[in-house]
Chains A and B, each alone.
Chain A
Amino acid sequence: MGEIYFFIVTVLKSLLVILPLLGAVAYYTLLERKVIGYMQARVGPNRTGARGIGQPIADALKLLFKELLLPAKSNKFIFVIAPILSLAPAISAWAVVPFADGWVVADANAGVLYLFAMTSLGAYGILMAGWASNSRYAFLGAMRSAAQVISYEIAMGFALVGVLMAAGSMNISTIVNAQSGNIFHWYFLPLLPMFVVYWISAVAETNRAPFDVAEGESEIVAGFHVEYSGMGFALFFLAEYANMILVSILAALLFLGGWLSPFEGVPVLEGLLEFIPGVIWLLLKTGFFSFLLLWLRATFPRYRYDQLMQLGWKVLIPVTIFWIFVEGVLILGGVI
């Protein structure tokens, strides 16, 4: 009885996370087009519904009704499961993400490790898609993606190690709570290099501009998903945007104090803004990072592939390793 109850509750909790997430993903695409449009002196989509509000729905319907093409010489099985393998980790990662104190599907002790595993798994979807397509562009895109993810995973991992060291825990809720105090207790200040490295790696990890060599439409058409159409393409699309939101929310949780109010400890404002629930703070912080992703895309041209590798291996990894040592010293010194 208890197990069934637990199961039903978990499913409901999952739905409570997944459904808003999918909605967010849909409107995140609209937001992207709008934001980039605004930054390029245009207005973005504005024909479907008031100010383009119906655009994501129209796009979803279009993709839903589009024909699914299977390339003649592709590996059919892998070709079909690749997008699923890409989306599944992107969504399951959200299981350990807390939205406020206790608001979490699975409050796992090794949450960060789990997250790390899940984000890395997404690369397999891309690799399989590229290989199964039996297309030179897709294959190139997949190869680039694999190399990129491996390279930046290390930097990202070290950045997270910094957080773990500081918090002394792998449970995300614990990490957030460890940052309580005022804004200066948030980890982005003592771990500033880690934070920057994390963010750069996160952009690279999600294959977003300026690290979108895996797609590289001006070089290899659309990279790994060049052969996908209709829902197959839509799944990759969903996975990419779910990941984007995930890395944003992780940045907020791990470095910006999660759902903690920035005005903790500030004499007047603290009391004045106490009515705002923690989840709003979290969403605001997440929103800032999500916006930053779009802003970066609107601003920077794509990295050259060798520059990308150089940045990952010769700059980011040494910086993180170095800062781990420094952090170790600081911890020993009792600063953090």
Chain B
Amino acid sequence: MQLSQDFIISFVILSLLFFVAMILWFLLAPRLGFKDLIKRFVLWDILCGLKITGIEFFKRKKTVQFPEEFTPKSARFRGLLALRRYPNGEERCIACKLCEAVCPALAIKIESEVRSDETRRTTRFDIDAFKCIHCGLCEQACPVDSIVLTDESNYTLDRKTQIMDKETLLAIGDYCEDKIASNRAEDDDYR
């Protein structure tokens, strides 16, 4: 390459000036110590981050293959709502409305009347499953263990099935009764 002497000299001076300015800026602007400055220049923190994900890449994966595998469930799992019956087939619910009163999401609506056998019974027991937050307070409030949260978690509801009425809830209760009973027996000592 054919470049004039002047050009080379001015080039070197300019570059040196620029170099000094850079060093000053790096030293003064972020007010970093020398160690930190070096760390910055070699992208130390970035490498540390990459190391973490790099190690994780080779670790054992924690995925549970859902339809084939299940995560273990506690006996206290709070899933789908249900109404239980006594072994003789009589519904447990006595329309005391304590669950309705305690429900923080106002998901329960109960209407009651005197049934022909002079007992207190519900004429309407609706749970808005979209409002329900599965807190389990209704289950705790129930004096007759009627309303329960089953450990059933695999279900879908849409706008047509969103309101679960008394028949639905009792049917769920009938379907899950064995599991409800065994879960309750397991948890009995702590209640």
Let me know if chains A and B touch directly in the complex, using CB atoms closer than 8 Å. yes
- Chain A residues with CB under 8 Å of chain B are 35, 37-43, 196, 295-296, 298-300, 318-319, 321-322, 325-326, 328-329, 331-332
The SS class assigned to the B binding surface is helix
Q: Which of A196, A300, A325 touches B49 (beta carbons < 8 Å)? A: A300
Q: Pick out which of these stretches binds chain A: B10-18, B99-107, B161-169.
A: B10-18
CB within 8 A of B61: which of A43, A196, A299, A319? Answer: A43
Interface status of B114 (Cβ within 8 A of chain A): no
Q: Does B46 contact A (CB under 8 A)?
A: yes
A329 touches B15 (CB 8 A): yes
Q: B19 touches which one: A40, A295, A322 (CB < 8 A)?
A: A322
Whole-angstrom CA separation of A185 from B85 in the bound complex: 83
The answer, among B22, B43, B56, for a CB contact under 8 Å with A38, is B56
Interchain CB contact (< 8 A) of B18 among A37, A300, A322: A322
Residues of chain A within 8 A of B56, CB atoms compared: 38-41
| 0/1 string, B1-40, CB within 8 A of A gives 1 | 1010000100110110011001001000000000000000
CB pair B53 A298 closer than 8 Å: yes
CB–CB B8/A295 < 8 A: no
User: Do the beta carbons of B15 and A299 come within 8 Å of each other?
Assistant: no
Contact of B57 (CB < 8 Å), options: A35, A296, A318, A319: A35
In the bound complex, CA of A70 to CA of B11 (Å): 56
> Using Cβ atoms and an 8 Å threshold, which residues of chain A touch B11?
325, 328-329, 332
How distant is the Cα of A102 from the Cα of B11 in the complex, in angstroms?
38
When distances are taken between beta carbons in the complex, the residues of chain B under 8 Å from A41 are 56, 59, 61-63
Using Cβ atoms and an 8 Å threshold, which residues of chain A touch B12?
Answer: 329
Residue B143, interface by CB 8 Å: no
- Residues from chain A with a CB closer than 8 A to the CB of B54 are 39, 295
Across the interface, name the chain A residue whose C-beta is closest to B54.
Answer: A295
**Shortest beta-carbon distance from A286 to chain B in Å:** 19
Which residue from chain A places its CB closest to the CB of B56 in the assembled complex?
A39
Which B residues between 41 and 63 are near A, CB-CB below 8 angstroms? 43, 46, 49-50, 52-54, 56-59, 61-63
- Chain B positions within 8 Å of A38 at CB level: 56-58, 61
- Chain A residues near B14: list those with CB within 8 A: 325
The total number of A-B Cβ pairs within 8 Å is 58
Residues in B whose Cβ lies below 8 Å from that of A319:
22
Interface residues of B (CB under 8 A from A): 1, 3, 8, 11-12, 14-15, 18-19, 22, 25, 43, 46, 49-50, 52-54, 56-59, 61-63
Q: Is the CB of A42 within 8 A of B62?
A: yes
Q: Are B61 and A295 in contact (CB under 8 A)?
A: no
Give Cα A42 to B60, complex, Å: 9
B53 in contact with A299 (CB, 8 Å): yes
Please report the C-alpha to C-alpha distance between residue A332 and residue B56 in the assembled complex, in whole angstroms.
Answer: 47
The 6 closest A-B CB pairs, nearest first, are A325-B15, A39-B53, A299-B53, A299-B49, A43-B63, A42-B63
Neighbouring A residues of B62 by C-beta, 8 Å: 41-42
Chain A residues whose CB sits within 8 angstroms of the CB of B63 once the complex forms: 41-43
Say whether B50 contacts A318, CB under 8 Å.
no
> What residues of A have a CB within 8 angstroms of the CB of B53 in the complex?
39, 295, 298-299
Residues of B within 8 A of A331 (CB): 1
| Cβ-closest chain B residue relative to A318 | B22
Q: Are A321 and B18 in contact (CB under 8 A)?
A: yes
Output the least CB separation between A2 and chain B (Å): 40
The winner among B8, B12, B50 for most chain A CB atoms within 10 A is B50
**Bound Cα distance A296, B52 (Å):** 11
* Residues from chain A with Cβ under 8 Å of B59 in the complex: 41
Chain A residues with CB below 8 A from B3, complex form = 332
| Interchain CB contact under 8 A, B57 and A328 | no
A322 to B3, CA, bound (A): 20
Instruction: Tell me if B43 and A196 are in contact (CB < 8 A).
Output: yes
Contact of B50 among A42, A296, A322 (CB under 8 A): A296
Contact sample, A vs B, 13 pairs, CB 8 Å cutoff:
A38-B56, A38-B58, A41-B63, A295-B50, A295-B53, A299-B49, A322-B15, A322-B19, A322-B22, A326-B15, A328-B11, A329-B12, A331-B1
Say whether B61 contacts A300, CB under 8 Å. no
Determine the distance from Cα of A298 to Cα of B1 in the docked complex, in whole angstroms: 47
* Distance A329 CA – B19 CA, assembled complex (angstroms): 13
